[in-house]
Structure 1
Amino acid sequence: MVFWLEKGVDGFRVDTVNMYSKDPAFPDAPVTDLNAECQEAGLTYCNGPRMNEYLAEMHAILSRYDAVTVGECPFTPDIDTVVGYVSAAQKRLNMVFQFDAVDIGKGKVFQYQTTPFNYTLSDLRNAISQTQGLLRYPDAWTTSFIENHDQARSISRFGDDSPRWRVRSGKILAMLFACLSGTLFIYQGQEIGMINMPKDWPIEEYLDVDSSNYYRMVAQRSKNDPAELANAHAALQHLSRDHARTPMQWNAAVNGGFTSPDTKPWMRVNSSATSINVAKQVKDRDSILAFWKHMLQMRKTYSNLLVHGELELLDQDNGSVFSFVKQGTRGQRALVTCNFAGEHSKAPGVLKHNQRKLLLSNVGSIGESCEVHPDVLEPWEGRLYLLN
C-alpha cells in the first residue's frame, strides 16, 4: 500500500475485504445441493475472527496519508458487523460495498441457477433499505451503486432495455440511485445506459470463467438437454458478468471507438454501440448522459437531502411503484417516486397531503419538468419533489 500511497493515490477499492481471516477450525459449508461439486460457503469463509485486527492494521497506515477506503463486503447480513467495519470510531474502513441490491434475483446456490427477473419490487426496496440503514448509526457511512465489473447492466436487469423504454429506464435508475444517501459510484457505461449483450448472441461470446463453468455444469448434469441449456443461456444473458466487460462504446464506428477498426478487441463490442454511445449522447440534451449530469448537479445542490438524508419507505406493498421520503439534515424533505412498470400507475398518496415542488422528472425535456397528470405516473416515470 505504501508504494502506491507514496505515488499519490487517494485511496483504495479493496477487493473481498472481509475474507482475509478464516475460522481456524475450517468448518465445512452446509450441503445445499447434493449434486454439486462445491457448496455455497460465503457465510463460512467471510468475516473471520481476526478481520477487525487486520483492518485496523491497514487503517493505521492509510490514515497517515488521509487515504480513503471502500471495501467489497459480500455475505454479511448482520448490520452490526458492517457497522463495525465502517464506524469512524473503530478506525477500520471508510465505507463498503454491500451486495444486497445487486444480488436480488440470483440463485441461492449457483447465482445463475435462476430465471430472468426472478424478484419483486419489494426485494429491491428491502435491499436498498438495508444498506441505507447504516446512516442511522451516528458515525457510519454507506454507498449507493447498482453496477460494477461483476454485475450485468442495470437497465437490462431492473428496467426495460427495449428501444421503446430503454432511455426512460436508464433515467429512472439514475434518479433512484443518485437520490440515495452515501457515496455514489457509477460504473463505466452506466452513464450512457449500456445494456446487456443481445439475446441472440451464442454462448461462445460469454468468456467469463463463471459463465463458462456454469454452462458446462448444466450441460454435464442434463446430458446436453436443449431445454436446460436454453434456460442456462437465458440466465447468463440476464445476469452474466460478461455484460459489464464488453468494450466501452465511445462512438458508432467499427469496434465502438474502443480500438481501431482493424483490431480484434478482447471481447466483442456490443452491437448496441451503433445507437448507444458517448459521441451521440454528448450532443443530445435529453440523453441518459445528460440526465446523469443533471442528477449529479441536483445531488450537489440538495446534498443535505440526497447525500446525507435519512430514507423512509412509503407504500411498501406496492408492486410497481417505489417511493420514499428523504429527511434532510436541515429540516427539508424530498419525495422520490419511481414507477417500475411498463404501464401507468397511481402516484403515492402523500402527494395529495403535502405542498410540493417538482424538481425533476424523467419524462419530457430535462429542466422543463411538469406534472401533466399529478396523480398518475407514466410507464417507467420517476419524479423528484421537494415537500413543504
Structure 2
Amino acid sequence: MKGNWLEIYDILSYCISNEVMESIYQREIENCFKILGWRKTNNTLQSQITIPIGSNNFIRPDIVLQKENDSGTCVPLIAVEIKRPDNIKRERQELQLFSYMRQLRLNFGLYIGEKIQLFYDTQDNKENPIANPVPVLTVNIKDTDNNGEIFCELFTYSSCSADRIESFCKDSLKRKQEYSRLKERISDFVLDAEENIKKLIKDMLLTEGFEEERIYKELSKIDIHVNSRTVESKIQHTVRQLEATATNHIADSNSSQTRDTTRFSFDGGIHYYNKRKFVLEIIKHYVNTHSGITFEELEKVFYPEIFNRNRGVVKRLTDVQKMISQSEDVKNRYFLDSDIITLFDGTQIAVNNQWGTRFPKFLAAINGIYTAVSNNDYKAK
C-alpha cells in the first residue's frame, strides 16, 4: 500500500503547492480514488450528484463512494467533502459533512482539504453516545505519514467494507478514549500532587518496614511541586486571550512558587473574588437570574469538561456525598455547607473549588455570558 500512498501523495502535494482551485482539486482526488479501484463507470464513485431528500429538498455531496450489496446493487458507503488544499477546516464545514452522512444514513465520512480526515458517527451507540461524528484517522499530506498507508488499506475498493471500516473506527475511538482518560487521571493526580506523591512515598516506605510516625515526620519537612511541560500547540483565539487575562500579571508558575493573588470580577469591578470564589459566585448569580433552571440545564452551561467529566463544575450534592463515602478527601474539593446551592425544584448542588490551572478554561466557557476582569486590569489603567 505504500506505493499507492506515494502516488496519491504526489498528486495531492502538487495540488497543495500550486494552490489549485477546488474544482481541479476534486478532479485530482477522484483520480486518487481511481488508484484505489473506485470507478465512475460502475457507479462505485459518484461525484456532484443530486440526491433527493424528502419531496422538496436535496443534497449534493462532492463524492459518494458506493459498494455492491449482496443483491448486486450499489449502495452508499462513504460521503466525501472536499475543500481547497489551502483551506483551514472550520466547524461549519464539518457540519456539512455530518449532514451528508446522516441524510444518507452513513457512519463514515471523509474530509479532504489541507489534510485527510476520517469521521465516525456513533450516534446509534447507546452505550457510548456522542453528539457529532468524531475524527478517528488524520492523514497529513506528507510522504512520510504512515497514516497514508492505513488510509489506502482501508479504502482500497477490493477489500473495503463497512464492517472493516467500522472495526477500525471502534478500535481507534477506544484508543482515543483510553488516552483521554489517562490524561484526565494524570491531571487529577497533579492537582493534588504533593499529597498524592507523599502518599506513594509513605506506602513504599511502610512496605520496607519503616515506622509510620517517622515517615510522616520526615515527609512534613518536604515541599513537592509539579510543573507540566506539555503545551497545547493549537488553542482557540478566545481561549488565548482569556488565559492572558488570567496569567499576564502574575509570576510564571513554571519558574516561581509565588502564589497567584489575582482577583476577578464579573460586575464591572464592584466586587473581586479569588479564582475559586469567583466560580462559585458566577454560578450563584446564574442560578439567581435564571429562575426555574434545572440541574441538567445548568450543566449544559457549566459543562463538566471545563474541569473534567468525573469532577465537573457542578455536581448534585447526593453524587458528591457518594464520592465522599469512597474518598474522604473529596469533601475538600467542593464548596459545601453554607455554599450549597438549592435549585427551584429542591435539587441541591455543590460547586467544584479546585481551579488552579483550569481557571482559564472556565473564563473561556463563560465568555459571552459574563465579562470577567482582573484587579490587575484596573490597576494598569
Per the normalisation by structure 2, the TM-score is 0.25
Comparing both chains, which one has the higher relative contact order based on Cα–Cα distances under 8 Å and sequence gaps of 6 or more?
1
Per the normalisation by structure 1, the TM-score is 0.24
Judging by fraction of residues, say which structure has more helix.
2
